Structure 1
Amino acid sequence: MAPSGIASVVGEHYALEGADLVPVSGGADLNASLWRATDARGRRFAVKWSSGGSPAGLVLPAALNAVRPGSAPEPLPARTGALWVDTGGARLSVMEWVEGTSALETPPGPAGWRELGQILAALHGVPLGDEALERVPREDFDPGRWAGLFERVDTALDAGPAEGIGRRLAELWSGNRSALREVHRRTIDLAARLRERDGLPGFAACHADPHLGNLVIATDGRPVLIDFDDAVLAPRERDLMFVLGGGVLADRAATEEQQGLFLDGYGHHRVDAELLAYYRGLRVLEDASELAGIVIDPASGEEERREAFGHVRGVFSPTGLLAQALSE
């Protein structure tokens, strides 16, 4: 939808007078469109129109800010008081625009790593009795989506000749195929055990994707956690996996010192090794398969393919997720 059209819809449902909307590109959510809105008073907001996911991305930031203000963007209620509006077959929402830079560009210092630990501890401590949290999906230990995608991509890369970057991907994948298939097998086995296991740790409100790309260092220096679209009620290891062991970003792997600073902020928690292994294996299947799928998709642009291929190499690097998963 054009900015003028979305501005009209936003004006109908939200008290944003004279809002000027500019499209924001580069997001990973293919089911959503994002705009930056500036109202007549100069305030900035993120306007999102999404046809996928759940309202968890709005419910949890509000719940987190209630216990630790400023830790996440604040949703702007609609005229009805609701955190979102269902309109045009999609979910429309408006949130505070956090002024600052990505933690990928401005890496957190020691205080930032401690604060990230404090933010996740506060999120994991959000009381789950609130009626709004009933809208947040609950972990079911079903790896079918990513295990199935891995099987399809693995078959496609093993099936026939490829040219250019597709051939380079096929060669890279072939060199890691046995390790990937082992992680695939382990993850499915772990899921089956976890579904039957007695005495699982209690579930908590989890962000489910708290890597540095989803952390903004605000202009006042505070870290702010953004993009709660994958939020889920799950064991804490669902989030801790993004720091412990190095995390998911091979070129920004968390050092032992940074992990220690994070845990200083987070506080004591006895990590469940089986849960950590499951979530790490699941993320290997997700990242490797989804990124490789972009490379082999004829509809992908050349620049998009190159970027995805670079990320696949990161997954397979010595500091990447595959190496972490195999070390467990």
Structure 2
Amino acid sequence: MLEKPDLQDEKIIACLQDEYGLPLVQVAFLPLGVDQDAAVYRAVAENETPYFVKLRRGIFDETSVALPRFLSDQGIVPIIAPLATRTGQLWASLDAFKVILYPFVEGRNGYEVELSDRHWREFGKTLKSIHTVEAPPALFRRIQQETYSPQWREIITRFLARVEDDAYDDPVAARLAAFLKSKSAEILDLVGRADRLAQALQARTPASVLCHSDIHAGNILIDANDAFYIVDWDNPILAPKERDLMFIGGGQGFGGHTPQEEETLFYRGYGQTEISPVALAYYRYERIIQDIAIFCEQLLLTNEGGEDREQALRYLISNFLPNGTLEIAYQSDRTLRDG
């Protein structure tokens, strides 16, 4: 989130001291990300060691911390694992938030810095390690399975009907409603395409692997020593590998390379693999639909968010720009050419 939550810094410091045994001198809010349920801070201990603190409210899935800890323990270096509390737990509780503590890695995300050729190859190598890891059954059982749920498609369809009749006083909501009206036919076509591809995938039941599910540019970190990291494991899923591979060459915020160059460099690290064009197109469509639905919930159902609201609207509209995610999704959909 871009605006600091209503939580005193002193309470965060006290929590970290009590739960982690950290003698802290300060915490500073970092205005990062569009997730309104997550706030992040930089904390500094008395010995000047920096830490990264994440506060998450709402639904908390323990696998979001257990999984990166496991992957790091398997020697997958580009994973930043959470630190344990005094009792060995990977999170603490503070009011309505779960508190997760990490080592602080000074760096810039993939929106802020262009990935080098080496970074792209390492990206591929790391993701292949994640997709082929053998995890304890008890851990895998806690990770959600892909169901090709129509949830987001149904939500966005309801919003399209709603904006035809509702009026909005909030200027951001009013602009969003007008934009949705102008794109209604295109969005409904998008929903229909995703529906058909979902049905095709359900009939085929492709093999599932461990997927991060959200590896856009904002979740790639390059540190001051040029090291590469994948961050934010809030929503892991067991799904076809295309769930992650859709981000590569998919217009997901990376700069410096064309989509084709991204794919070429990435697969030099990932290795040869057969990619399902049906799954790739489905996930690219579904990602756009989910983004639109989430931003509609944020902007049309509440007036909360402050600066996050303008940014959310910009992100939503960007899907429809030339060479944007929607255009790339259409290009990856062979059914547009084959029938």
TM range (shorter): 0.7 to 0.9
Distance 1:48 1:301 in 2: 18
Deviations 1:108-161 (A, max 9, x none): 1111111111121121122132533433222222131x1232123212332256
Are 1:64 and 2:71 counterparts?
yes
Deviations 1:46-92 (A, max 9, x none): 22232324122212222332334430212111112222235656433
Q: 1:37 to 1:134 in 2, by over 3 A?
A: farther
Q: Please say if residues 56 and 135 of structure 1, whose CA atoms lie closer than 8 Å, have aligned partners that are also in contact.
A: yes
- Counterpart of 1:100 in structure 2 is 107
- Counterpart of 2:198 in structure 1 is 191
- Counterpart of 2:282 in structure 1 is 278
Are 1:121 and 2:125 counterparts?
no
- Counterpart of 2:243 in structure 1 is 238
Distance 1:49 1:311 in 2: 23
Deviations 1:260-292 (A, max 9, x none): 001111111111122212211211111223334
- Counterpart of 2:325 in structure 1 is 321
Q: 1:19 to 1:227 in 2, by over 3 A?
A: farther
- Counterpart of 2:48 in structure 1 is 42
- Counterpart of 2:264 in structure 1 is 260
Deviation at residue 20 of structure 1 after TM alignment: 2.4
Q: For residue 159 of structure 1, give the secondary structure of its aligned residue in structure 2.
A: coil
Q: Please say if residues 23 and 34 of structure 1, whose CA atoms lie closer than 8 Å, have aligned partners that are also in contact.
A: yes
Q: Please say if residues 180 and 322 of structure 1, whose CA atoms lie closer than 8 Å, have aligned partners that are also in contact.
A: no
Q: For residue 135 of structure 1, give the secondary structure of its aligned residue in structure 2.
A: coil
RMSD: 2.6
The count of residues paired between Structure 1 and Structure 2 equals 324
Amino acid at match of 2:11: G
Distance 1:45 1:33 in 2: 14
Amino acid at match of 1:101: R
Q: 1:76 to 1:148 in 2, by over 3 A?
A: same
- Counterpart of 1:9 in structure 2 is 15
Are 1:311 and 2:315 counterparts?
yes
Distance 2:25 2:213 in 1: 32
Amino acid at match of 1:17: P
User: Identity over the aligned pairs, expressed in percent?
Assistant: 27
Pairing partner for 2:231 from 223, 226, 229: 226
Amino acid at match of 1:102: N
The gaps in structure 1 that reach 5 residues or longer are none
Deviation at residue 217 of structure 1 after TM alignment: 0.7
Distance 2:30 2:144 in 1: 27
Q: For residue 55 of structure 2, give the secondary structure of its aligned residue in structure 1.
A: strand
Amino acid at match of 2:222: I
Correspondence 1:138-149 to 2 at 5 A: 138-144=145-151, 146-149=152-155
Q: For residue 141 of structure 2, give the secondary structure of its aligned residue in structure 1.
A: helix
- The 10-residue stretch of structure 1 (13-22 or 117-126) with the greater mean CA deviation from structure 2: 13-22
Amino acid at match of 1:284: I
